[in-house]
Amino acid sequence: MRAEELLREIWKIITEYNKHTLDEFGDDTLSRLAYKLAGYKATLGPLVAETSRELVVARHVFQEEKAKRYKELRDEGLSQGDSSDMKRIGLLPQAEDHAEAESLHDKYNKLYYDIGEIVDVLKSELIRRQSERKESRYGG
């Protein structure tokens, strides 16, 4: 499954289930949802790693180009203050690539952890229900 398809599927599920409260779902539905989301989280893991790598590369390229351009400015007798915006020193493409890589990494990383939180909530709800059933059967 491609990254964008995966994101659409995850958001579709989350949006659909967010229309309801947990009490509206049976145990089987909650278990299936937790299982499905855990699978999506596992699929997101490599995407998070890949976007992390891409971010490191984009940051490195940006920093290298920035250092090179600042050196050129110094050689021309100018200071860093003379080049306050990236466009003036020709770094806009690298700055945009870095910002895009950072945004994509943040998006996947946040979703990865959010899915983990949702799965934890579902597991807690299932455990709570199981405890209530035991208490009602055996007293407590």
Please tell me which residue, 119 or 90, carries the higher pLDDT value: 119
Mean pLDDT of 107-127: 95
Classify residue 82 by its DSSP letter.
Answer: G
What angle do helix axes 3-17 and 92-138 make, rounded to 10 degrees? 40
Q: Is the pTM of this model over 0.85?
A: no
**84: part of which helix (H) or strand (E)?**
none
What is the per-residue pLDDT for 12?
A: 93
User: Is pLDDT above 90 for 137?
Assistant: no
Mean pLDDT of 6-33: 93
Residues counted in the chain: 140
**118: part of which helix (H) or strand (E)?**
helix 92-138
* Domains of the chain, residue spans: 48-133
What is the per-residue pLDDT for 67?
A: 87
Mean pLDDT of 102-128: 95
CA distances from 66 to 51, 59, 94, 96, 114 (A): 22, 10, 9, 13, 35
User: Is pLDDT above 80 for 79?
Assistant: no
